Chains A and B, each alone.
Chain A
């Protein structure tokens, strides 16, 4: 008669990556039924990176608000930027989503000067 043997093992894996500061990039699009609301997001980033983000509440059936890095609005007016974000964001966002987005703005300037 053989004795029953039991063995328990645990395998631990650890992945290390750098913490993003703040844990969002340029823009966060918040759906109306998302688990985190725009006010909670704003308070979180205000603690981690004070005065850098602005909540823009929008009148949209799916999107409740967008949280935008204020520096972007120095380059593009708020209305134009939010219109652009909504137009692109509504194609992929559903009411329960929170989507973060990175935008790259390049301003082209061309001037003629008298010679």
Chain B
């Protein structure tokens, strides 16, 4: 499977995701934000970090970069697109995913391991997870508080477009286990076609038991399925 990781000035999880993809034998290429064309890609990843220093709004400037025009075209033609953390923020800023990521409710940068529940596993990204499986993933963000209109929130729930929700280690989804104030404990969302996934937790940090755990690896093995 061919993958492309887009690199912006300020990206800092680009190498991590490349290592995760290469571990699973993806043919990966790093693509600079100024490039005007994409290599042949089955999967495009917008990595975590602080693209353009989070100037204006997180992801706003990256959303207008040269390469994003190509990413938008590819996404609209059905190419798989994964946005992690800052990548998720970029996806909402381009409109590829609806809604926005606001500052964390407690106004603190959150860098810690949290639990998330796999809500919808019938899709290209999560089919190797069991429904309701609880994963321990790392979060590291200041703007992860997912917000959207009441109508869109209903659509996300009704159409099963929420793959992951924050929960406790037993899988209880409640306000107590909502780290950032996201509506309905949302940790990630799909577009209607489920070819675009944005999520705040970092699955690429959880692919090796010797340094963390491997709860994130199935997100990538699912893609190979």
State whether these chains interact.
no
On A, residues with C-beta under 8 Å from B are none
On B, residues with C-beta under 8 Å from A are none
